[in-house]
Amino acid sequence: MRRVRRKSLIAAGFLVAAMLLPIIGITQSRAPWTVVPAVTVLGRADDARVPLVREAVDYWNRIFAEIGSPFRLGVVTVIAGAVPPERLQGLSNAVLSGARVLDMPSEIATAPGNIVVALSDGDFISFAVRWPERQKALVGIKSERTFPLRLPNVARNVIAHEMGHALGLGHNSDPAMLMCGRPASCRPDAFASATEHFFPLTAAEKAMLIALYPPASR
């Protein structure tokens, strides 16, 4: 029965993806990874967000398993270091404005791995940016001591949300879903909960992931 449901999901995914791709297109931000992206956490080993990054990686790998894709995020490594908060603020502003970010911070260029998660003490809007031609992405996460990351359950979902962008997903307008965001009115404080959990994806987002990272049999 589980195999039948998985085949149905994959078939539905192909159908929805076929309708979405002519509208959305696989732009630079939606280009699929062509390597198994290793994840590097740039910060302090004792940062309370480090376990949340590992949980977010596990979340995405479960999603790929559920939709029948062989794609997986790779190992997580933690290294000491930081990107200056003012540089992350500038990148955050550029991403929010829709500008194409061409320059890669030296701290990201020299860091091992492909997806670099910069755990910052700065106060900015968390973001993700990719350089597909260099097989690199930066996920910038603001201080957990600032609103709304200090609220329970928020930081884990913000990290997973931004990693979703690094994987190729955009925003939706449903506040009950992980990838809800601008220009919709939903904001990260909607992730607040006394129960630790990750918010789900929409069927369209799963279809997009199937289109980007198809099952081996496709």
Task: Encode pLDDT of 98-112 as tens digits.
Answer: 999 999 999 999 999
Please give the domain boundaries of the chain with CATH numbers for all domains: 2-211 (3.40.390.10)
Q: Which of 113, 91, 119 is nearest to 104 (CA)?
A: 91
pTM of the model: 0.87
Cα-based torsion angle of the residue sequence 39, 159, 46, 54 in order, rounded to the nearest 10 degrees: -50
What are residue 177's phi and psi, to 5 degrees?
-115, 155
Whether 79 and 38 have beta carbons less than 8 Å apart is answered as no
Determine the residue type at 102: L
| pLDDT band at residue 217 under the 50/70/90 scheme | low
Query: What are the b/e assignments for 195-214, b being 16+ CB within 10 Å?
Result: eeebbebbebbbbbbbbbbb
Alpha-carbon span 120 to 44, nearest angstrom: 10
The per-residue pLDDT for range 128-153, each reduced to its tens digit, is: 999 999 999 999 999 999 999 999 99
Between 8-17, 127-136, 161-170, 181-190, the lowest mean confidence (pLDDT) is in: 8-17
**Helix (H, G, I), strand (E, B), or coil: what is residue 170?**
coil
Alpha-carbon span 178 to 172, nearest angstrom: 9
**Farthest-apart Cα atoms in the chain, separation:** 52
Alpha-carbon span 56 to 120, nearest angstrom: 17
Residue 7 predicted with pLDDT over 80: no
Residue 15 predicted with pLDDT over 50: no
Cα-based torsion angle of the residue sequence 142, 143, 147, 151 in order, rounded to the nearest 10 degrees: 110
The per-residue pLDDT for range 64-102, each reduced to its tens digit, is: 999 999 999 999 999 999 999 999 999 999 999 999 999
pLDDT score, position 10: 44
Average pLDDT over residues 1-14: 47
Residue 13 predicted with pLDDT over 60: no
